[in-house]
Amino acid sequence: MTSRMHEHDPQLTSLVFDYLQRRLAMDPVPLDRPGDAAEIQAALSGLITPGGRGAPAALSVYSETIAKSVLSADHPKFWAFIPAAPTKASLLFDMVVSCASIQGISWLEAAGAVAAENQVLRWIADSAGLPEGAGGTFVSGGSAANLSALVVARDTARRKRAPGAKLRIAVSDQAHSSIRNTANIIGVELFVVPTQDHVLTAAALRLAIDADPTGAAEAFAVVGTCGTTNAGIIDDLSGIAEVARERDWWFHVDGAYGGAGLLAPSVRGLYAGIEHADSFIVDPHKWLFAPFDCAALIYRQPALARAVHTQDASYLDAIHDSEEWNPTDYAYHLTRRARGLPLWFSLVVHGTDAYTEAVESSLTLARETAKLIAATPGLKLLRQPTLSVVLWQRDGWSAVDYNEWSHRILADQVAFVTPTQWAGQTVGRFAFLHPKTTIADVREVLATLQS
Ligand SMILES: Cc1ncc(COP(=O)(O)O)c(C=O)c1O
């Protein structure tokens, strides 16, 4: 039995490969719907047995029940939260990475993979204008990347502050929820800076510092966002960098969603100041068209991260024998999938221009959508989109109406759109990033608002 599990089984292989080929050929993939808990439980019940049920039974439950009750985040009309749109090349290479059993901890174990991942990190660092020595690693997501970076910021500050000194992270009221979680986990508090028009600026920071000099003195880092999850707004990164420099704060830039906009000439100017970041994150599994789960984490001075994250265990001494790059030393992780490789493969296959074009296409779509909404009676555009998120309001609608509409158009398999809050009200929100989403799709969804 044991050996059978590790023998090549051509039938099992073709069964799974056939399924994969069918899925990869779908255009678009089905949107699918939230499953019914009782039906899912019934289909799963009794499947794990001492003797095994065989591949056809397992795959049939997957394709008939599990897959159908999983919303496809890469559907061109999945506009809720932050969607995904992995390239076919990156999806295929993700399977290669799985088959290769790459342990991505260290240079010793995975030199080629580490070098290729670092090539991608270098490309990202160059697009942000970070210096030659910048580097880091890929982690599972923006939350893990924010946590790993801000731990380095905290420990770097601790070395400069009095023992036991209270520490805070300066953030805008628009920063991502993972920053607050990070603060809780690492035992520091937030120095929350109220924003005007939802943008963190140097002026807003200075006002908050003047209003609470004691709180400001406890701050050791400031987080700038490019762009915010709710509205795609880019903070005044150069103004924040200036204040950070004056106060010797660590400057962290959270570009989990919007960092990809660095590739787009039409908005690149809005990121001015990012080159001063001490740490920068961007999620390729969002707008850089890589599969889940992949976040790039880059430090201006990687040695500071190494000092904090390197795990000390005698059984690991072998990986630290040389001066080569060990991805484990740059984040809170040890074992890691070489999750940067699918992006590396796709970048090499398609070239960087294709990425620029794909990001620009969502920006163009957001601008066209904004125009369409502004011109539609009964709808109100809430602000000009900076990136690819569009916020709107329908006359006379309450939270209940938005929620009912959201459920209805998902049940009808038209689109997946969820409302959000803006200025204390429930509003509509479209988050675009799939290059195959069209203005005709937007018209179709807007038409459902009239009924
Ligand atoms: C600005 C920002 N930061 C952090 C995150 C968290 O990223 P993840 O979901 O990959 O943990 C998100 C997710 O949408 C985000 O938009």
Give pLDDT tens digits for 365-396.
999 999 999 999 999 999 999 999 999 999 99
CA-proximal residue: ligand 1, atom 5 (nearest): 142
| pLDDT value of position 216 | 98
| pLDDT value of position 1 | 52
395 and 409 share one domain: yes
Any residues with CB less than 8 A from the CB of 304 and at least 6 apart, and which?
A: 152, 156
176 lines ligand 1 (CB under 6 A): yes
Ligand 1 pocket: which of 82, 169, 386 to mutate (most atoms within 8 A of CB): 82
CATH number at residue 442: 3.90.1150.10
User: Ligand 1 center to residue 15 CA distance, Å?
Assistant: 35
- Measured in whole angstroms, the distance separating CA 48 from the mean position of its chain's CA atoms is 34
- For residue 39, is pLDDT > 70? yes
| pLDDT value of position 3 | 79
Any residues with CB less than 8 A from the CB of 126 and at least 6 apart, and which?
A: none
User: Ligand 1 center to residue 377 CA distance, Å?
Assistant: 34
Could you tell me the residue range of the domain that residue 122 belongs to? 94-350
19 and 52 share one domain: yes
State the pairing for strand pair 389-394/379-381.
antiparallel
| Distances 53 to 38, 45, 58 between C-alpha atoms, Å | 21, 12, 7
Decide if 284 is inside a domain: yes
Decide if 389 is inside a domain: yes
| Distances 158 to 149, 151, 219, 302, 304 between C-alpha atoms, Å | 14, 10, 11, 17, 12
235 lines ligand 1 (CB under 6 A): no
142 lines ligand 1 (CB under 6 A): yes
User: Ligand 1 center to residue 130 CA distance, Å?
Assistant: 21
Decide if 21 is inside a domain: yes
| pLDDT value of position 397 | 98
- For residue 155, is pLDDT > 60? yes
User: Ligand 1 center to residue 276 CA distance, Å?
Assistant: 21
Strand, coil or helix: 365: helix
Question: CA-to-CA distance for 110 and 97, rounded, in angstroms?
Answer: 12
209 and 297 share one domain: yes
- For residue 122, is pLDDT > 60? yes
Question: CA-to-CA distance for 430 and 80, rounded, in angstroms?
Answer: 6
Across the range 74-103, mean pLDDT stands at: 98
User: Ligand 1 center to residue 420 CA distance, Å?
Assistant: 16
Total structural domains within the chain: 3
User: Ligand 1 center to residue 432 CA distance, Å?
Assistant: 15
| pLDDT value of position 451 | 67
363 and 335 share one domain: no
283 lines ligand 1 (CB under 6 A): yes
| pLDDT value of position 327 | 98
225 and 332 share one domain: yes
User: Ligand 1 center to residue 279 CA distance, Å?
Assistant: 15
| pLDDT value of position 253 | 98
Decide if 78 is inside a domain: no
51 and 119 share one domain: no
8 exposed, middle or buried (CB, 10 Å; 0-12, 13-18, 19+)? exposed
User: Ligand 1 center to residue 297 CA distance, Å?
Assistant: 13
Question: CA-to-CA distance for 208 and 363, rounded, in angstroms?
Answer: 33
Asked if residue 28 has a cis previous peptide bond (ω within 30° of 0), the answer is yes
Q: How many residues does the structure list for the chain?
A: 451
Q: pLDDT-based confidence at 357, cuts 50/70/90?
A: very high
| pLDDT value of position 59 | 98
Q: pLDDT-based confidence at 400, cuts 50/70/90?
A: very high
* Residue found under tokens 């484990």: 328
- Out of 302, 333, 350, pick the residue that ends a domain: 350
254 lines ligand 1 (CB under 6 A): yes
Q: pLDDT-based confidence at 259, cuts 50/70/90?
A: very high
174 lines ligand 1 (CB under 6 A): no
Question: CA-to-CA distance for 405 and 134, rounded, in angstroms?
Answer: 46
34 and 131 share one domain: no
Ligand 1 pocket: which of 138, 146, 178 to mutate (most atoms within 8 A of CB): 178
229 lines ligand 1 (CB under 6 A): yes
65 and 101 share one domain: no
Give the mean pLDDT of the chain: 97
pTM of the model: 0.97
162 and 196 share one domain: yes
* Residue found under tokens 């992270």: 169
261 and 271 share one domain: yes
274 and 168 share one domain: yes
Instruction: Say what angle helices 142-158 and 302-309 make with each other, to 10 degrees.
Output: 90
298 and 376 share one domain: no
Q: pLDDT-based confidence at 2, cuts 50/70/90?
A: low
256 lines ligand 1 (CB under 6 A): yes
In this structure, of 1-15, 74-88, 273-287, 379-393, the range with the lowest mean pLDDT score is 1-15
CATH number at residue 149: 3.40.640.10
Decide if 412 is inside a domain: yes
Q: From the alpha carbon of 175, which atom of ligand 1 is closest? A: 1
Q: Which two tokens stand for residue 221?
A: 């880092």
233 lines ligand 1 (CB under 6 A): no
| Distances 47 to 2, 203, 417 between C-alpha atoms, Å | 19, 60, 34
Q: From the alpha carbon of 140, which atom of ligand 1 is closest? A: 10
Across the range 253-280, mean pLDDT stands at: 98
- Out of 320, 335, 350, pick the residue that ends a domain: 350
